[in-house]
Amino acid sequence: MRTKAIVAACTGVYLLLYGFAFSQDSIPIHTIKDGKQFVKIIKKIAPEEDALFVFDIDNTLLITNNNEFGSDWWFEQSSKNPALRLNIADSCLYNVLTPLFYSVFDTRQVFAGQAGSLNLLRKKTNKTIALTSRGYTPVIATATELELVKNSFQFIEKDSLMMNNNVLLLNNIIYTAGQNKGNALMNYVQLHKYSKIYYFDDSENKVVDVQKAFTGSGIDISLFHLTIAAKIPYSKKQIEYMQLKLCNLIESVNNIGKTTCNCKNPMQ
């Protein structure tokens, strides 16, 4: 009798763990490796009704400065190695320099013709928005919209909504300031109901955050991880060049007006 009880208990634990594991993996993540595959998926989902299409911006729709100094890839690498940005203070990087990066540096579509494919999603019953890790300031928002429009993305529409934790929706772009995108998207869809959601992002970690937020919610969502944008580790020569550019930019900014930025030129 005791053996049967142990077996039953073990079976129950196994089923519980199996069920938990299954629920955690119940929303698959699909990888998109090139532009051709991206366009094929867009064409397939375009006929949907009452659907929400959600796109990250950096390295999903736009590449900034060829993924070099001041780009999303530069931010990612410098967060792992602060020496790449000469250990400058966060207040300098995010409050002073980042708005300049978005305003000054050139951008391009991740692949040629990408914006045209997104235009296939402009059915009146559906909605397309961007969900970005960029933080909101008027300067950053204006620069973001200008670059999207310049690159022929046409989903910008007038609307605004202050969401939880200083997350802001403005003109179909949700600015999360690096916060959890899964939580931000869940907050949005609780206010705006859709029959189906499609989410696209080049950051696997961000896609996983959305996966975790929506697992068990009963909301129909498809997740796509894009690996189209090239992300190549910087060479020593590139790092030295970008450090010099950073110092030169800080010196120029401080010549205009005193800021919180300080930098010791690595060549001096």
Is-contact 53 61, C-beta < 8 A?
A: no
Average pLDDT value for the chain: 88
Q: Using CA of residue 78, residue 227, residue 143, residue 45, what is the dihedral sign? A: negative
The arrangement of strands across the sheet holding 127-132 comes to 29-32, 221-226, 196-201, 51-55, 127-132, 173-175, 168-170, 160-162
**Higher-scoring residue by pLDDT: 165, 254:** 254
Is-contact 130 56, C-beta < 8 A?
A: yes
pLDDT digits (tens, 9 = 90+) for 59-86: 999 999 999 989 999 999 988 888 888 8
pLDDT range class, residue 94, cuts 50, 70, 90? confident
Is-contact 85 132, C-beta < 8 A?
A: no
The ranges assigned to domains in the chain are 27-233
- pLDDT for position 85: 86
Q: Using CA of residue 106, residue 61, residue 115, residue 135, what is the dihedral sign? A: negative
pLDDT at 22 over 80: no
Beta-carbon-side half-sphere exposure of residue 99 (alpha carbons within 13 Å): 12
Please give the model's pTM, rounded to 2 decimal places: 0.87
pLDDT digits (tens, 9 = 90+) for 146-167: 999 999 999 999 999 998 888 9
pLDDT range class, residue 25, cuts 50, 70, 90? low
Roughly what angle, to the nearest 10 degrees, separates helices 204-214 and 181-191?
A: 50
- pLDDT for position 266: 62
pLDDT at 2 over 50: no
Helix extents (H) in the chain: 2-24, 35-45, 72-80, 90-92, 98-104, 114-118, 138-150, 181-191, 204-214, 236-256
pLDDT digits (tens, 9 = 90+) for 186-238: 999 999 989 999 999 999 999 999 999 999 999 999 999 999 999 999 999 99
- pLDDT for position 167: 94
At the topology level, CATH places domain 27-233 in Rossmann fold (3.40.50)
> Closest Cα to residue 62, out of 159, 167, 173?
173
SS3 for 251? helix
Is-contact 96 262, C-beta < 8 A?
A: no
Least confident of 7-11, 28-32, 69-73, 107-111: 7-11
Q: To the nearest 10°, report the CA torsion of 146, 148, 150, 156.
A: -80
pLDDT at 7 over 70: no
Sorted by sequence, the CB contacts under 8 Å of residue 33 that are 6+ apart come out as 227, 228
- pLDDT for position 83: 85
| Paired residues of 161 in beta bridges | 169
